[in-house]
Amino acid sequence: SQISAELNSRYLQLPKNLDPRVAQLGAEITGKARTSSEKASLVEGYLKRKYTYTLNLTWNPGPQPLSTFLFEAKSGHCEYFASSMAILLRTAGVPTRLVNGFLMGEYNPVGNDYIIRESDAHSWVEVYIPGTGWIEFDPTPPDPTQRDVNLATQISHYVDAIQMFWNSYVIV
């Protein structure tokens, strides 16, 4: 089905003075894809395989942060991954939008709730698929420094459950 003119004008916008290498990379990654969904999957996979997640940015973004991320630094946080996917797909004619929110958080089996921390803030991409609508894609690779649940985490689950109980049943 056709993409409306409103979708095209709003969700295919590109930054002014976009580095031409970005459009070239977008064409290289998506060149063999036939559909918007295939293009999105190719870009998502490319970013997850070729780049590294880090919160410790040791590089200077300069006047074109997207180009610096894609062609020099090749490591960054979720905003760089999501922005890169959105712009790479837009250069290939696929409408996209950025989403900022929170991940599910950490499940606390003691309190039967989820612990949502500031560190759970995340950015991802929604891609418009004709005939389907907006579909979520997350090009950010896993954090290589993420640790398994340890004793301190288990103790923090009990502390969180006690605080939640206190706030819910004692303080009214």
Active-site annotation, residues: 78, 122, 138
55 C-beta neighbours (distance < 10 Å), count = 10
- Asked if 160 and 111 count as a contact pair (C-beta separation under 8 A), the reply is yes
The residue behind tokens 């919160």 is: 55
CA distance 19 to 24: 9
The helix (H) or strand (E) run that includes residue 30 is: helix 20-30
C-alpha to C-alpha distances, 23 to 1, 14, 26, 70, 73, nearest whole angstrom: 25, 10, 5, 12, 18
CB 94 within 8 A of CB 38: no
